[in-house]
Structure 1
């Protein structure tokens, strides 16, 4: 007689939301998957694979957006309802694979992921296990940790291990689903809130901290060990670093969680920017000096304050205003090329519908969503190219002296070499690439011949003090001084 395979449903909703972005995420911001489309997101669950054949995997509903502002409440309520309804229609299940980010913000709510997982638990009941693979930039409340049996998160920033983490979550879930006992979690709140550009695992101390996790989870009685460094551009009580160690030995997981938390706290002063920081002007000057010295292309400049990959609105014009006012870039400089990515403005793109490539254009663009830092910018130049992009929609590239300004119909993060090549710009043939990014994602990191992490203003400002957090629990490093070490005692959840 063939043993019954466990029934496991997959659902989720993921976005990273800055509380300081004017952007609001609506239905159009999300890519939505249903049924078999959900399963196709996880190639390691395909039929014929060890994990795929070990359970009956059932896709329900999954919605994902690039980072941005808070989600409109009606959109969250709609997606939450679709998940709950879909789970109810599936009937009895053995486990839930809940794919979330951990830093979703919703208008009028605190702890959106905590609300979502409690809604899931209410419909599936207390018996099924729930796992949640997450971004290490999530903010994990005790409420969320109590409802999720097997939480885990990425161990690399940039997140080159995202697929590995999702597969690890599925594998761990299968290891527990037929057991008579439930995993325990040791949860530790660590009062640290730092931007991702200071906590990249490319450099110390994060590299060594996260490298310890594999050894910890190999210990007897331990199933998983995770460190959430947190998301600094939200403003909720759950905003802080978190350590969770799960397993079947409460004493072992408690000891290891507290040790990891102390290790994180002890190196709090050692975190620094992953790339050379500076002002925008310093970054451009460094790029021009690099070119003058015969350096290879390209020199990268991060417009970090409006990084859509971290929650920026994507149409803050402050940097573009500065670049258009810089005569070194707009004047006659032989063969100098400077790519600028990007701002989105559907009206500005549409205003060029009748303009021929090669013609002179004059338009106002940007700051339609987020005008708190600077207003729309006037761009007068030559229409260099017109493109269609599956994410950005219609795209125009406008030449102003050495500048090649990218204006898109919809929000898009230009975080990869191919993003630029798709709009006619080859970074390897460009002297300076200015893009709305923080730390460099892999393909840009690989080609960068030089780099400045420009500390520009915007919804994901690296200078957290300028943002005005007022709802986080205090004291919190680096906002406050600590005369004594905080309480890092683990709470064991079962």
Structure 2
């Protein structure tokens, strides 16, 4: 494996040693970067392999972090030693082979960076791996075996991740996004890096106290969005609770409801150098989280598909967006469930001349895409799509119609098939449709469509801003939002909302030992 070298790091070392100025300056800290990120459902039959992570190594990793540009003021505060960072689109459980390969490559690269002062550990936190209950905790423990316990580790996460005792102890500084949708993702990663740099530069190192509280709540992001209350205030209050070194940071993890494992439940953490202040902040957030649990509701009107279609057909607002939530690929769904499409094609309204138009985004069908490319725009196709991975709710769907657009992307070709007044986007690989450009590149104008059905949960900002009206449909799939339909066996019970009448839990702060005290 090639040695990690970064040209500008050499310059920084020279600068730190005073070669240019003739003066001796304090040596810059050596900080590595590593992480594997995915949100993976155990209720989906899909399986995630190594190539899905699109792992980058060396200085290519900096493309993930715009706040570390050459003129950022951050890049020159340390000698940065990026190792491996992989980020996969949410999906099914990760194979053990893929996990072990990515971890081993990371550890080998980390060995080349030693000695280290710090590590920026950039993960999601909801990775499921075959035969492993706490992958991120296992990964970080194995990193500690390489870098030692003296290295200061700062971890950035998604709030839909899970924080076990092992993960909490092996990291020193930990934070997660405060907004859902996650518009503050880059800001959060920057905060994790700044906290790390500050504690290295001021010599204070590891915070003296880390408080951890399990909150027995397990709700989907669509019910805990910070666009509305009570999520808006729950995490919005955090900046006002911090007190410099007394309470450096605090976070609320909502966890991930589509993985059936003991670690899946809410968690609150706070850390800093003042024990009483850290406990007070953690307990305040935990009690707030618990006390408002029954106020959480879907971020948009939510119903079953028949009613959603009735509303859309009766509406005069464009586009009327329906979130096809149960198979949302950005939450871990297989992305190829055809149940909703079958229901749409049963509706006579979309066959009548002059009736409303509907765009469906999207369904994988590689053979049908190839057929469309051969037929060309304006040609006719008749073939099957979907349900190759998840056929539990409906079989592959037969799409017969006119090809209105083709995108011969080498990585993921696409075609639009018009059947009556339904325009179905068919893709070579499962695909998320988040941006207007995704549609306009295929000759579709989503703003002028009467109805837009998208495999998604809460709308990402660009879709949210273009909506004329919007409902979320409780459809089946690996990320079914009707949690009571899911066959949980391993989550810790009682837990809300599976056990709505459970007694109030103990929400006292539990102090996590420092990483200096790690015991195997």
TM-score range, shorter chain: over 0.9
Q: CA deviation at 1:388?
A: 3.4
Q: 1:371 aligns with which of 391, 415, 432?
A: 391
Q: CA deviation at 1:117?
A: 0.8
8 A Cα contact 2:214 2:267, kept in partner: yes
| Residue of structure 2 equivalent to 1:323 | 344
Which secondary structure does the structure 2 equivalent of 1:440 belong to? Answer: coil
8 A Cα contact 1:395 1:408, kept in partner: yes
Return the alpha-carbon distance in structure 1 between the equivalents of residues 170 and 340 of structure 2.
43
8 A Cα contact 2:495 2:502, kept in partner: no
Return the alpha-carbon distance in structure 1 between the equivalents of residues 393 and 130 of structure 2.
22
1:352 correspondence with 2:376:
no
8 A Cα contact 1:13 1:62, kept in partner: yes
- The C-alpha deviation readout for 1:396-454, integer Å capped at 9, x for no partner, is 11001111001101121112222222222121121111000000000000010100101
Return the alpha-carbon distance in structure 2 between the equivalents of residues 466 and 125 of structure 1.
44
1:89 correspondence with 2:112:
yes
Return the alpha-carbon distance in structure 2 between the equivalents of residues 360 and 239 of structure 1.
48
Which secondary structure does the structure 2 equivalent of 1:328 belong to? Answer: helix
Q: 1:98 aligns with which of 121, 126, 135?
A: 121
| Residue of structure 1 equivalent to 2:490 | 471
1:182 correspondence with 2:206:
yes
| Residue of structure 2 equivalent to 1:402 | 421
1:18 correspondence with 2:78:
no
Q: CA deviation at 1:330?
A: 2.5
Matches within 5 A, 1:254-265: 254-265=279-290
| Residue of structure 2 equivalent to 1:311 | 332
Q: CA deviation at 1:389?
A: 4.4
Return the alpha-carbon distance in structure 1 between the equivalents of residues 125 and 248 of structure 2.
21
8 A Cα contact 1:362 1:379, kept in partner: yes
Q: CA deviation at 1:482?
A: 4.2
- The C-alpha deviation readout for 1:84-135, integer Å capped at 9, x for no partner, is 0100011111111011001011112111111111111111000011111110
1:127 correspondence with 2:150:
yes
- The C-alpha deviation readout for 1:230-267, integer Å capped at 9, x for no partner, is 11111110000010001111221112101110110001
1:110 correspondence with 2:143:
no
Return the alpha-carbon distance in structure 1 between the equivalents of residues 153 and 284 of structure 2.
26
Matches within 5 A, 1:24-423: 24-178=47-201, 179-183=203-207, 184-218=209-243, 221-291=246-316, 295=317, 297-334=318-355, 336-389=356-409, 393-423=412-442
Q: CA deviation at 1:352?
A: 3.3
Return the alpha-carbon distance in structure 2 between the equivalents of residues 388 and 239 of structure 1.
41
Q: CA deviation at 1:219?
A: 6.1
- The C-alpha deviation readout for 1:459-479, integer Å capped at 9, x for no partner, is 110111111111001111111
8 A Cα contact 1:39 1:57, kept in partner: no
- The C-alpha deviation readout for 1:345-369, integer Å capped at 9, x for no partner, is 3233234342122122110110001
My pick for the range that moved more, 174-183 or 226-235, is 174-183
- The C-alpha deviation readout for 1:315-339, integer Å capped at 9, x for no partner, is 00000001111111133225x3211
CA 1:219–1:91 in 2, change beyond 3 Å: closer, same or farther? Answer: closer
5+ residue gaps, structure 1, are none
| Residue of structure 2 equivalent to 1:434 | 453
Q: Taking structure 1 as the reference length, what is the TM-score of the superposition?
A: 0.96
8 A Cα contact 2:494 2:502, kept in partner: no
Q: CA deviation at 1:386?
A: 0.9
Q: CA deviation at 1:25?
A: 1.0
8 A Cα contact 2:372 2:380, kept in partner: no
User: How many residue pairs get matched?
Assistant: 488
CA 1:104–1:126 in 2, change beyond 3 Å: closer, same or farther? Answer: same
Which secondary structure does the structure 1 equivalent of 2:196 belong to? Answer: helix
My pick for the range that moved more, 12-21 or 323-332, is 323-332
CA 1:354–1:157 in 2, change beyond 3 Å: closer, same or farther? Answer: same
Q: CA deviation at 1:75?
A: 0.8
8 A Cα contact 2:319 2:451, kept in partner: yes
Return the alpha-carbon distance in structure 2 between the equivalents of residues 80 and 50 of structure 1.
31
8 A Cα contact 1:318 1:374, kept in partner: yes
Q: CA deviation at 1:139?
A: 1.2
My pick for the range that moved more, 409-418 or 307-316, is 409-418
Q: Taking structure 2 as the reference length, what is the TM-score of the superposition?
A: 0.92
Matches within 5 A, 1:475-490: 475-490=494-509
Return the alpha-carbon distance in structure 2 between the equivalents of residues 237 and 161 of structure 1.
28
